A and B are shown apart, each in its own frame.
Chain A
Amino acid sequence: MTRAVVVGAVAAGLLSAGVLAPGCSEVSGCFGGDDGLCVPESPCPALAFTCSDEELFVRVVASASDRPPGLNALAARGDVLIGNSRMLAVIDAPGSPHHLATSGGSLLDLVARNGDETSADDLNQMLQTVGILPADQARYHRLDVIDRSPELVAVIARGTLDGRPDTHIVTRYEVRPCEPGVRVRTELYHGGRDPLTTLLSDAFWWGGREITPFVPLPGQGFVYPDLDLLELGDSIFDVPFMGAQGHSDDTSSYGLVRCDESTAEGFQSTSVSALGKARTVVLPGDAIAYERFVSVGGGPGLSRAANHAYEARGMLFGEPSVVVTGTLVDERSAPVGGDERRAALLFSDAADPGVPRNQAVPDADGSFFVRLPSRRSYRVQVSVLGRALPGETAFAVENERLTLEPIRVPDVGVVAVTVTDPDLSPVIADVVLTPAEAQTAADFRGSLHGQFDEAHCSPFLGPPHGGSPACNRVLVDASGTATFIAPPGVFWIYASRGPFATLDRRMIEIRAGETVSASLVVDDIDELLPSGWLSADFHVHAGASFDSSLPERDRALSFVASGVDVLAATDHDVVTTYAAAIASLGIGDEVVVMPGVETTGQVLFDLREGADFPQVIGHYNFWPLHASSLAPRNGAPDDERLEPGALFDRIAALFDGTGVRQLNHPFAENVFGRDEGYLTALEYDPRQPITATDEVGRQLLRAPGGGRRNIDHDVQEVMNGAATENFAKYRRGWFALLNQGFLRGGTANSDSHTLAVEVLGYPRNLVIGDHDVVGFDREAFNDDVRRGRMIGTNGPIIIACVDTEDGGCADPGLAHVRPAADGLLHIELRAAPWIPVQEIRIIVNGELVRTIVNGVGELLDPFGSQGVLLYADAMPLAELLAGVEGDAWIVIEAGYPLFPAADLIDDDGILDTTDNNGDGRVDTRDHEGLDEDDYYREPPAPDQDDPRYHVAIIAPGTWPTAFTNPFVLDLNGDGEWSAPGL
């Protein structure tokens, strides 16, 4: 019956309307859906770049040498390389998703080539999407290769939208000879049933601390309206093109020009940009297409790619542009350039409000070369050391190339610093500059054209998330010397080798055009750490992470400069080893790196019932792992759309030895719609018991993969970075788990992505045992980590033990011990002289039972090495455990008092408000006039006469704190330990 009706109806329908349907000759490609054979037509036919070298290639990645240079490069076996003499791109294999994507088929790596030189990959990912949900992303299932060289080579990615299998999406990546980029055409066929709003676009996952996108719009350029995913329309603009500037060594810059229309629609942020075809309603049966040219340039500055974008717009839309060249010189006419720290030029329309048009970093010879739209007047703003110079150069262009008069910039000073130990042997160290007078700090702050402006980056010596010099910090390598430029002024220059070494500083006056020398001495304080204890940071990032631009060499130097012995390399979703950097620096006998990963949920899914939005599980660290440079993500697992237990099961086979599973920042807020802390994602209230009778408890206790439960991590972060808010939240959650018998080791990690914003090793773990870097026994070390034989600290050192029934004295740890009947708790507190400590707190079963202030030693000379023993005493356990029935646990904390805070926003057991109005009370009046995000305010930066001043210079934001892991006490002697309960 159905067939008869359909046939008849089709016949009648065609009779009535067939003549009005578009003819087959008018459309081509995959507008009828992907039949596996269709091919989108070649995009951007008006482009015509020329050169003498017609090299063209497309091939599947087969060896490690196929991976482009750069820490963000991730090409792996099975991906496809496509390129010519000017560029090289990698499209990941469909089964190898990265970052935000639910499949491969995305543009994963993109670098510029020039002869034998290849720029570093700074592109995390460019993927296709029509909306903000994973369901709207392209999910490719197949790549086809077209090799029609010497005319063109192309890769066809075929798939559907991830959550709309009836909606087909086919993308053609095409490379032609001489072109400094990739032509891309995406066709989308809506075979579903409901109208669909699409923003058919490329999403660029910048990550947040890497590339800065640029759009030539009034008042924008490198700064953009805040991106709110819930009010997306407010952030969307039409733009003629988008550029993006990298800030790493040998960086690349990128540009995107739409080919089939003169503007593209999208939004920008330093985390993610999207640019594409204007939002449109697509009805079932309709098809749409989007064509663009994605260009790449090698070297610092935006112009390397933006010039291509202007050139392309001339070919595509007849928009004329002209070349403007010039040189930058100092007061002695010496060339200035070669590095964006030294100088950058921002070209804007002369009229107000000026539209930023291009940006350049001069070459080392001071020359620059930019393209600008013709027949306009411009002004050039020169920035030196992140600060725009007063006065601007104005000029006008017609249709001819223009060479500007040399632009003169004032001289900067040069600092030559030497750091040695007392024997005058050079040492690897951190060097930090800060204005000698606090009131002048604002005069030396800087930014990257308005981005990455950090208050403490004064003086601004370089991009805060990049390599040394970064922010106000410089690394000194094994030569013990470093030379860098700095603005004229009077500064303190500090040298540090971490919190267990002495601190030194000098006052220097930097004069323009002159070199000032400074020699500083630092030395390890041997009597601080007990023998066999190692200093370890289990949460460390560098440039391989999608949100860091820090070179591996600098990160490796920072290991030693911060005095950290053991690290877990935990870059986001990629396994790293730092092996090459450590070998080249010759520091293999000073530091141990355990390859690992921070699994980073990016693809939202329905994590739990009742949630308003799809979620992710947050972040977990795993180490040690096998690393493989030919495997996707260097061997890290595909971690998306998994609950923690299933992730634990999946990763078990990837451990190199016995692994450690760490729950990171358990109560972190979500960022860009992605949950970063699992307990926040679950809305876990630490006052509530974890039982199978409620949704949160069920979620935590279930084993989604059939093996491990979601709560079966080994350790969890109690301190993460400098923020007191983190410690306040995380310790409360940790205590709640301990009280319920979920004994998990507490860790303290820096989560450092940079040299100077989050400083490596602040805080860190001191792993108790008989460990040594030379002859490091990884299994024994990680066993102690899992057993909680650690203290966490950003400076103070707590050495404590409990007298046991067998006559020994037990260190902190998760294994329960039977204390001696008249047993004592022995506490010793040590700290370097520049780490102030005010109190010791003793916590029993989550309750503060004693605060020790008297007897906690006063600091002497902060730049000396004496007076490190601040407290040593013992106290009867019976006093501390008075009133306790059953078993117990004890945690000791030391440092500054807990920063006053209360839970006033939502009564969820999580501290969220500080005394913001300074009235001495934390109450709802502290919310007045503030956004909810600001209800918890970190302590202000200390004044110079504050004892905390020095540590806050070395590790900004640090609030001296240390904690032990618990002493788990079997008080009733039954051989078991019973949790005290909430």
Chain B
Amino acid sequence: MVRPWFVTLGLMIGLARPAAAADVDDTPCNAEQPEAGAPVRAPLGPSDFGMVPEACPRYELSLRGDMGVLIDEPGFYGSLDLGATLRGRVPLPGNGWISASLPGFAYTFVANATVEADSADLSASTLGLHVPVPVAERLAIAPYVRWMLPTETIFENATRFGFEQGIAFVANLHPIFELTGGYAIPLLLTSTGLGTHSVFMPTVALDAGLRPWRWLEAMAGAAVRVVPGDDDDAFESLDVRAALRFYPHEGLLIDLGGAFPLLGRDRTNAALGLGVGWIAPE
């Protein structure tokens, strides 16, 4: 059995080489629109951690806002998470790129029956290394590793950090139709110094993107998240996802995304994302 862990690292190490000799104009990352190979952006974790990233290198600087809503009326519980962060991607000389989300603003409101509290804090930040791998004319994959840095201030006596690895892909099935997705294997560790709370949640995502015009891309897809360590209830969620992306002018991007857990134990009703940024090719 080939383990995804070795697949990812092997691909990253073995294929981290100068740009492939293939004609870049034929690659799925070279769409008419400023951006290609970006799955639905609607994070269900801190910052963009755990969200399958883009499969294509770009220069990007965007301001992203996220919202997560959980209303469990029978359980007398509800939560609202709002976040805003600056996110960027920068191609590296030679091959690959790095991604980063900076510590931003995070607001959390939680109602436990009628006991309510909120908190405005500094959010998590991430740093990722992505290596594109053009494996076929219409298919590109990009193994990646990503760290979540412990910049969150909401914790009173603990620190949260994380490591994630996975593979993003994009398949250009038609000039106006792409498939993107991949898998992510995030591990979140929250440590008080006396104990560590871990969340390990492999995720597989697949989104289809339709690009009828240069200024619009509509996406829809699904993701499956599992928690392997929990024998009783390992199925975290089946998320239905959708996004609309607008490119009103050159590289200007307006990105609306949403994920809606339908099955599994995740009680989140919706995770929504809004991004405004500038995308530029390598």
Contact = CB atoms under 8 A, between A and B. Distances in A.
Interface of A: 1-2, 4-6, 8-10, 12-14, 16-18, 20-24, 26-33, 38, 130-133, 136, 189-191, 193-199, 229-233, 279-289
B185 A29 contact: no
A608 to B, nearest CB: 14
B9 to A, nearest CB: 8
A195 B79 contact: yes
B200 interface: yes
B1 A197 contact: no
Contacts of B148: 17
Contacts of B1: 1
A285 B1 CA distance: 33
Nearest to A33: B195
A607 to B, nearest CB: 14
Interface stretch (B14-22, B32-40, B59-67, B112-120): B112-120
Given A23-B193, A280-B156, A281-B154, A197 B110 contact: yes
Interface in B141-163: 145, 147-150, 154-163
B119 to A, nearest CB: 5
A280 B117 contact: yes
Contacts of A22: 157-159, 191-193
Contact of A9 (B114, B160, B164): B164
Contact of A12 (B114, B118, B163, B191): B163
Interface in B111-143: 111-119
Contact of B160 (A2, A133, A191, A283): A283
A32 B195 contact: yes
A41 to B, nearest CB: 12
A136 B76 CA distance: 11
Contacts of A280: 117, 119, 156
Given A20-B161, A286-B158, A31 B194 contact: yes
B115 A26 contact: no
A5 B156 contact: no
B193 A31 contact: yes
A5 to B, nearest CB: 5
B147 A13 contact: yes
A2 B228 contact: yes
A26 B193 contact: yes
Q: Is the interface of A mostly helix, strand, loop or mixed?
A: mixed
A185 B10 CA distance: 51
A336 B194 CA distance: 58
B115 to A, nearest CB: 5
Nearest to B190: A285
A9 B187 contact: yes
Contacts of A29: 194
* Of B76, B109, B110, B118, most A-chain CB atoms within 10 Å: B110
* Of A17, A132, A232, A279, most B-chain CB atoms within 10 Å: A17
Contacts of A23: 193
A130 B154 contact: no
Given A9-B164, A22-B157, A285 B193 contact: no
Contact of B192 (A17, A130, A286): A286
Contact of A4 (B3, B77, B195): B3
Given A5-B5, A285-B197, A136 B154 contact: no
A287 B193 CA distance: 11
Given A16-B163, A279-B117, A27 B112 contact: no
Contacts of B197: 190-191, 284-285
A26 to B, nearest CB: 6
A956 B168 CA distance: 79
Given A12-B145, A20-B161, A284-B197, A195 B189 contact: no
Contacts of B189: 10, 13-14, 17, 285
Interface string B59-93: 00000000000100000110100000000000000
Contacts of A196: 110, 112
Q: Is the interface of B mostly helix, strand, loop or mixed?
A: strand
A16 B200 contact: no
Contacts of B267: 194
Contacts of B115: 130-132, 136, 197-199, 232, 279
Contacts of B6: 4
Contacts of A16: 147, 149, 161, 163
Contacts of A198: 112, 115, 117
Given A4-B3, A191-B197, A196-B110, A21 B118 contact: no
B66 to A, nearest CB: 15
26 contacts: A4-B3, A8-B165, A17-B150, A17-B189, A20-B161, A22-B191, A22-B193, A29-B194, A31-B158, A31-B193, A31-B194, A130-B115, A131-B112, A132-B113, A132-B115, A133-B76, A133-B112, A133-B113, A191-B197, A194-B77, A232-B114, A279-B116, A281-B154, A285-B190, A285-B197, A286-B155
Given A133-B113, A199-B115, A281-B110, A13 B194 contact: no
Contacts of B113: 131-133, 136
A281 B112 CA distance: 10
Given A28-B194, A31-B192, A282-B156, A21 B114 contact: no
A286 B3 contact: no
A194 B70 contact: yes
Contacts of B200: 2, 5-6, 9
Nearest to A32: B195
Contacts of A21: 150, 159, 161, 191, 193
Contacts of B95: none
A856 B128 CA distance: 95
B116 A285 contact: no
B79 A194 contact: yes
Contacts of B94: none
A136 B191 CA distance: 23
A286 B194 CA distance: 11
B24 interface: no
B117 A24 contact: no
B4 interface: yes
Q: Which 4 A-B pairs have the closest CB atoms?
A: A32-B195, A285-B190, A32-B194, A285-B197
A17 B161 contact: yes
A229 B4 CA distance: 51
A629 to B, nearest CB: 37
Given A286-B156, A287-B156, A8 B114 contact: no
A12 B148 CA distance: 11
B157 A197 contact: no
Contact of A281 (B119, B160, B162, B190): B119
B157 A286 contact: yes
A286 B108 CA distance: 15
B173 interface: no
A38 B79 CA distance: 31
Contacts of A131: 112-113, 115
B151 to A, nearest CB: 9
A283 B161 CA distance: 13
A188 to B, nearest CB: 10
A18 B193 CA distance: 10
A264 to B, nearest CB: 15
A897 B206 CA distance: 76
Nearest to B72: A194
Given A21-B193, A131-B115, A199-B115, 6 more contacts: A5-B3, A17-B161, A21-B150, A27-B194, A132-B113, A286-B154
A759 to B, nearest CB: 37
A17 B188 CA distance: 11
A233 B116 contact: yes
A817 to B, nearest CB: 51
A193 B111 CA distance: 15
B114 A1 contact: no
Nearest to A129: B115
Nearest to A16: B147
B194 A10 contact: no
Nearest to B46: A283
Contacts of A6: 187, 198, 200
A8 B3 CA distance: 12
A191 B196 CA distance: 9
